[in-house]
Amino acid sequence: MDNFFKRPVGAAVLYLNDFHFGANLNKLNRAARLVPKDVKGFASLLSDTKDADPDHVQDIIDLLDNYANDVDNDLIFKLNKQ
């Protein structure tokens, strides 16, 4: 298992990006900025999954995008409250 927690978040982004040849790079970069620990965690889990395929990884990328949206929405909500 590759532990992406000991490496920069960019390494996890590149690992996840390789499954789709760059198609989700914008989503992954945004998630890396907003939820870096989640990106590293899912990349670590996937690196230990022998039968991971692009469909599995796409589900993870979509989930990371949802997490990033949640962070954005909370930040926007806090700014609107001020």
- The structure's pTM equals 0.85
Task: Please determine, for residue 1, whether its predicted confidence score (pLDDT) is greater than 60.
Answer: no
DSSP H helices in the chain: 9-17, 25-34, 36-47, 54-81
Alpha carbon distance 3, 70 (integer Å): 25
Measured CA to CA in angstroms, residue 60 lies from 3, 19, 41, 74, 75 at distances of 17, 11, 11, 21, 23
Residue 55 — pLDDT band, cuts 50, 70, 90?
Answer: very high
- Residue found under tokens 């590149």: 14
Residue-wise pLDDT tens digits, 9-43: 999 999 999 998 888 999 999 999 999 999 999 99
Supply the pLDDT for residue 77: 59
